[in-house]
Every structure is written in C-alpha cells, then in structure tokens.
Amino acid sequence: MHEDTSFAIHPGMGQQSGAVVYRDIGREMEHQKVNDIYLFTCENGRVAIQFYTDSIVRIVMNPDGEPELDRSQTVVAEPDNIIVKEDFSADTYSLKTSKIELKIDREPFRVSVNDLEGNELVSEGERGMAYRENGEVIVYKQMYKKDHFYGFGEKAGFLDKRGEVNEMWNTDVYAPHNPETDPLYQSIPYFMTLRQGKAHGVYFDNTFRTSFDMRSNADRYSFHAEGGQLDYYVMAGPKPKQVLEQYTHLTGRMPLPPKWAIGYHQSRYSYQTEEEVREIAQNFIDRDIPIDVLHLDIHYMNGYRVFTFDNERFPDPEQLIKDLRGMGIRAVPIVDPGVKKDPEYPVYQEGVRQNLFCKYLEGNIYFGDVWPGTSAFPDFTDEKVRNWWGRKHAFYTDMGIEGIWNDMNEPAVFNETKTMDVEVMHSNDGNPATHRELHNVYGMLMGKATYEGLKEQLDGKRPFLLTRAGFAGVQRYAAVWTGDNRSFWEHLQMSLPMVMNLGLSGVPFTGPDVGGFAHHTNAELLVRWTQVGAFTPFFRNHSVIGSLYQEPWQFGELYEAIMKKYIQMRYRWLPHIYSLFAQASKEGLPVMRPLFMEFPEDEKTYNLNDQFMIGDNVIIAPILAPSVEDRAVYLPDGEWVDYRTGDVYQGRNTYLIHAELEDMPIFIKRGTAVMQADWVSNQDKTWKSITMDIYAGEQGESYRFSYYDDDGETFAYQQGRFLAMEIEVASKADAVYLDIGSQSGDYTPAYRQIDVNLIGLKQGQDVIIKGVKSNGDHKLSFSEW
Ligand code: GLC
C-alpha cells in the first residue's frame, strides 16, 4: 500500500534474513559410462556429464532421480563424437578432451572445468551442486577478483554484471526501466566470464524462473532455479568470439534477414488510419528520407482482434500495402497472443472448438485481460497450435505483408502478477507442464509459430519477425526490440550496454525504440538517438499514444536535415552492415559489439558503456547527454582515423573529441576498410555501385573482411546465389595491396566491380590491386557468372 513512499523501508517492515539451507549433492559413491555419458551416483542425487564438442561440456543434476537429457526447449545441437581420456584411478577423477579437462573431486562431489594449461574456468569450492525439497536447484562457483560477467540477455544497467543479481522471468515492464529494474521482457540464462583476457561461457538450460547471483559473496557466484534440473553447459572459449560461436552452436543462429529489415523503420502507437499511414509514407518520399518499413500498431485491428483490419479506419488494406510497396515501403503489423473472447469471432471460435487455448489441468480455459479485453491465449507449446497460428498469417501474407511484430508475448496480462496464472497447464508436445515451468519460452514459441508460418506462405521470400519476449534461441526466429523505454537521455545511455549484452547473448538483431517510447521526446534527444540508431542492428523510431509525434521532420528543418543525413548514412553503410549480418548468421557473432570483444586483453574496455563497435574495425562514440559537444573517447590498440575529418589518432589513449549536434564521432581502424553504397531513392534501393573505403596504413597492417551480397529477399542464397569475397588489404610503406583471397557463390549483383577509394594514402605510396599497379582509377573486379 505504501510501497511508493519511505514507508517501504520502515524499520518494522522486517527485512528477513534467515539463511536458506540447501542439501549438498554429497560424496560420490559410484560412476558408470552409458552411451558416452558419464553418470555419477552421489549421496544425495545423480549427475550426468556429457561432452558436446571438445570445448563444450554439459553437466546435469536431477534431484528427483535420473538426469533427463532429452527435454531441452532450446538446444538444437547434437553431441559430437568426442574422444575423452578418462582417468578414474586417482582420488580426483579426470576427463580430458583435446581442449578441456574436467576434474572431479569425490568427497564431496565437486566438478571443475579447466583449460589444458591448468587454468580453471569454472570450479567449485566449499559449496557445489545443491537443492531443496521444494524443487529449487542451485550451484555455486568460485569467483575471482578479475572476473567480469556479460550477457544475461536483456538487462538494464551497465555492461559488466559483476555485483549484480539477474533474474530470468519474462516481464512486461512499462514503469520506467531503471538500472535495477529486473527482469525485463527477454530471459537468456547465459553469461560470459572474462578473466584476464580469456573468456568462457555458461548456459543454464532451465526454463523456470532462474537467478544469477554475482553479488552476495566476494569469492563465489551462484545460479539457481525454482524447479527442474540443474542442467548447464560450460563453453571454453577462450576468446570471447569463440564463446559466442560455441553458445550459438548450442542454441542456434539468426537466419539471414531480408535487406529491407535492416533499413529504417518508422512506427507509432498508432498510425490510426489508412490516410495517416499514407501521409507518413508520402512525407518520407517527398523529403527523401530513407525508409523501408512502417509499423501498424494495435489500432489497425477491429477491436484489437488479431487477424482483422478495422473496416472504417483501414477500408482497403490490400491497396494500402500495394501502394506502399510502390513507394519502396513495407508494412509490418503487430500481432499479440491474446485472442478476444467473443463468441462471434472466428479465431476465438476455432481456438475453443479445436482445443487450442491454454487451459487449467481441470479443463477450463485461462482468460486474462489485455488490449481486446478478456482474452484466451493460444498454447504455443503445442505443435498443432503453432501450425494453426502460423497458417492464420495467410491473412496477412495474402495481402503482400512479409513481416510481423509480436508484442505482449511474455505473455503480458493486465493483473497483479502481470502474466498468466502459473498453474495453467501447457500441452508441451506431449509432456504437459505448468506455466511456472514454461512461462519463459511462451514468447519464443509464439515467434517460432509465426516465423515458420510466414516462411511457409512467403514462397521463398525471407520473413521478418520482431518480438518483445524471448528466451535463449530467440535469434532463430526474430529480431528483438528492448520494449517500453522512455524519452530520457538516461535511456539512450542505457540502450548501449543493453544492446551489446543482447548481442553477447546470441541475439544480434536488436535495438531500442529510437527517440524513446513513453514520455515526450525533444529535438536534441531525437537527433542524438537517431545518430546512434543509424548504427544499431535494429533501427526503429517508435513512440507511445499521447506523446509528441517524433517522425524525423516534427521538430523543424534544421533537425530534419541532421536526421536525414544519419538515416542516409545508415543506407550508405548497408553493404558493410549486411556483410556483418551474414557473418552473424554464420558464426553467431554480434553486429554491434563491446570493445572488449576485439580487445580482450585491454582492461579499459571491460566496462566501456558509452562506445561500441560495428564489426571489428569501427568504433562509434556517440554523444549521449544534452548540450554536450565534447566527449572523451577511448581508442584501443592501433591507429584510428576520424571518419569525418581523416585525422589519425594513436590508440591506447583517451581523447577529447568535439562533435556538434550534426556530428557523431566515428573512428575506423587504420589499415582496414569499410564497404559503402550510394543512396538513390526510396523507390529504388538496389545498390548500383559499391565503394570500398580503404583507410590506408603504412606499417605492415593487414586486414581481412568477408564481403557478402545476395538478392536480399529470398532464400536463393541457400542454393549458392550469393557473392562472398574474402577481401585482403595489406598496407606497407611503399604501397597498399588489395586482393581477393577467395570468392564463392554465383550471384551477380547490379554493380560489376567495386570502386576503391583510398583514404590517407601517402605521397609516393602505390596502390596494387590483384598484383597490378593501379593508375589512379582504382577498381576491384570480381569474377562473374
Ligand atoms: C506495448 C509495446 C509497444 C506498443 C504498445 C501498443 O506497450 O511494447 O511497443 O506500441 O504495446 O501495442
């Protein structure tokens, strides 16, 4: 009642401190090996150890009996055949692959994972695996002074999560996102530890409410679940990038999105009529501001009934979608999970008749209040329901829609707990389980249903899906935006570590609502946020009902011109960004990265929150506060060239950089290159020419970049219709050498060669392209089919 006043900390409120007692796993009594799985019977439970690769090991403890190894909702990898050297002769057992060694103490049972140089990755001390009679499971791990923790999915606060407790329980949080607001919409029970330049990862494969405590104890951390098994994977790295490859080997990678989805998105809760949507689109065309997507928020529907359009507000959606396409714009409508309880609404009728909604064990449907009023919720844990839901999207795809926005899929319900009753029983493809167990995967499974349905209907075209809720593996289906932020400078600041940690959690396609969702934005904030948005993987401006409109032209010409410059810059950089998306889809690496990913030895990068990298050679150092025109920029090892001026800065230094409102500091590593295209118009977005900007070095720098292109729209690339080039740049005192290391794929783009632009070439330095000295008109040709 008095939660919002100081009464909340009244001495009589009784801060409970009674320590919770867990039962330790106890000593080991027996071990055996069955089908490459090591099974240990301990005093108080059974443990299984299974190697997935030479660098990934899985450890499972089931307090209730045999460890169950086939109930994962998220892991898509199968274990490889791994050669393990076993030694059970000594008091400490040893299991060794070509990359890691597990040491197992028997009394009490304690496991450590080590690299082959003898460095501990994860290890247990006084405490190890334990549980309580109520079903909770926990494990404690040693924590060292120099440990830094990242990942954990979508979290507020700073990049390094040391000193934090993070909880996983998908939650709709409209109240402001403060640094301590936790949990939010996405739960990814995974983290990466960086210890003295080396990284390893832990993925806790448990869908119950889990928590990770990196705070309460000076020399150990723990992770804990309300139920289920203690089932986790250790990924040995040792480079941060390898940890991500390993983690996404387990939980899957993002399919390559269509190019249009990587462009600029404009949204508003809501553009309420067809006329308004047309007017917004026309403004972008007339003002020559690039745009690929307009989002349709809940007002397009008839009484918020999904799979309907409101006949009065949107009398002819098919024509609208068609006309927008003529302008080079796609419409992405919102689809929430709640189906309005209305006996005259066919979707509701079908759901009831075909038994597709979430129900209690006793058989009654669960109803909750969301936008449409009383609603039922499809049980996405059931394949039959997923297929039904997927097929329903023909309603949209028949109109030419190729993208969907899933919201409220935590699921959010307007009640005290903010979600579905945890006692609801899901069908779960034949293994019924409560909402308490499956809450965290509900949103991701909605995403699976939607993505797969769209893919089926789009006849070879790539779907785009945006989701608010998700779990480990959500990257296989959807891009993620970070929910209902506010038009606060603090939220612009917080969005950087948030998006970086999502990328470190295997989800590369993410971004915040640019300009801020709730509250009222202002010209300066919107400009600064748009500058950052031009380089975040997902780039969408969105705002809440009742707030000031925040399309790029709403604050007058001066600001419009700056935002236009940066949105156009996004399109200029698209060939580079698209290549990074291709890399993300192949290797699981994020597009937007913290600096430590490229410089893991450099401690200054370990909690750098206000700068980020695009790929491995570009640093973005935005202005993140009002009235600020100068900021400190840390440049790591190497020499760095200011994108705006060409000035060169020595790395391992901090500089005060000046950037007025029309400017955002961008630095490119000397000796490397970036790929750029010319902006033509909204109606014609095909790249006619591609330029490679080489930032010439002279000290033996060498650089490789995988340039990737394809039709941007279909899955033909999976049949070899792509162009992939390993581009190599070597800078020496006398010349800059440019070569194609290898080329593959048989896609022929509209451009016939790559124009090469040398920045910072020294007097007397030659340019040698594929072994031939260039005469000044530098071109890189590639083989054609
Ligand atoms: C939720 C979403 C927001 C959307 C609104 C109306 O608050 O997070 O993006 O605009 O619902 O659908």
Q: Which two tokens stand for residue 377?
A: 């919720």
> How much of the chain exceeds pLDDT 90, in percent?
96
Say yes or no to pLDDT of 2 above 70. no
Q: State residue 6's pLDDT score.
A: 81
Q: Residues 193, 149: contact at Cβ < 8 Å?
A: yes
117 labelled catalytic:
no
Distance linking the first and last C-alpha atoms of the chain: 72
Confidence of residue 776 (pLDDT cuts 50, 70, 90): confident
Q: State residue 175's pLDDT score.
A: 83
Round the average pLDDT of the chain to a whole number and report it: 97
Order of strands across the sheet with 265-266? Answer: 510-511, 479-481, 464-467, 403-406, 330-335, 293-296, 265-266, 540-541, 513-514
- What are the Cα distances from residue 308, in Å, to 301, 335, 345, 352, 392? 5, 10, 10, 18, 11
Q: Residues 220, 125: contact at Cβ < 8 Å?
A: yes
Q: Report the residue among 409, 466, 484 best suited for mutation to probe ligand 1: largest number of ligand atoms under 8 A from its CB.
A: 484
Question: pLDDT tens digit string along 693-742?
Answer: 999 999 999 999 999 999 999 999 999 999 999 999 999 999 999 999 99
Say yes or no to pLDDT of 293 above 70. yes
- Residue 739's nearest CA partner among 709, 769, 695 is 769
Say yes or no to pLDDT of 489 above 70. yes
Q: State residue 146's pLDDT score.
A: 94
Q: State residue 141's pLDDT score.
A: 98
Q: Report the residue among 266, 408, 467, 542 best suited for mutation to probe ligand 1: largest number of ligand atoms under 8 A from its CB.
A: 408
Q: From ligand 1's centre to the CA of 443, what distance in Å?
A: 15
Q: State residue 16's pLDDT score.
A: 59
- Residue 139's nearest CA partner among 113, 100, 160, 171 is 113
Region 96-107: what's the mean pLDDT?
98
Q: Report the residue among 172, 335, 407 best suited for mutation to probe ligand 1: largest number of ligand atoms under 8 A from its CB.
A: 407
Q: Which residues line ligand 1 (CB under 6 A)?
A: 269, 297-298, 334, 407, 468, 483-484, 542
> Which ligand 1 atom lies nearest to the CA of residue 483?
8
- Residue 535's nearest CA partner among 574, 563, 505, 504 is 574
Question: pLDDT tens digit string along 215-274?
Answer: 999 999 999 999 999 999 999 999 999 999 999 999 999 999 999 999 999 999 999 999
410 labelled catalytic:
yes
Region 133-159: what's the mean pLDDT?
97
Q: State residue 7's pLDDT score.
A: 80
> Which ligand 1 atom lies nearest to the CA of residue 267?
10
In this structure, which residue's CA is closest to atom 4 in ligand 1? 269
Say yes or no to pLDDT of 5 above 90. no
> How much of the chain exceeds pLDDT 70, in percent?
99
Order of strands across the sheet with 772-773? Answer: 702-710, 722-731, 735-744, 766-769, 772-773
Say yes or no to pLDDT of 189 above 80. yes
- pTM exceeding 0.75: yes
Say yes or no to pLDDT of 377 above 90. yes
Give the helix/strand (H/E) hosting 98: none
> Which ligand 1 atom lies nearest to the CA of residue 334?
12
Q: Which two tokens stand for residue 151?
A: 């990942």
> Which ligand 1 atom lies nearest to the CA of residue 408?
1
Region 207-212: what's the mean pLDDT?
98
* Catalytic annotation, pick one of 136, 292, 407, 710: 407
In this structure, which residue's CA is closest to atom 5 in ligand 1? 269
Q: State residue 17's pLDDT score.
A: 57
Confidence of residue 18 (pLDDT cuts 50, 70, 90): low
Confidence of residue 3 (pLDDT cuts 50, 70, 90): low
Say yes or no to pLDDT of 12 above 80. no
3 labelled catalytic:
no
Say yes or no to pLDDT of 1 above 60. no
In this structure, which residue's CA is closest to atom 7 in ligand 1? 484
> Which ligand 1 atom lies nearest to the CA of residue 269?
10
Show the domains of the chain with their CATH numbers: 23-243 (2.60.40.1760), 673-784 (2.60.40.1180)
Q: Which two tokens stand for residue 67?
A: 């460890």
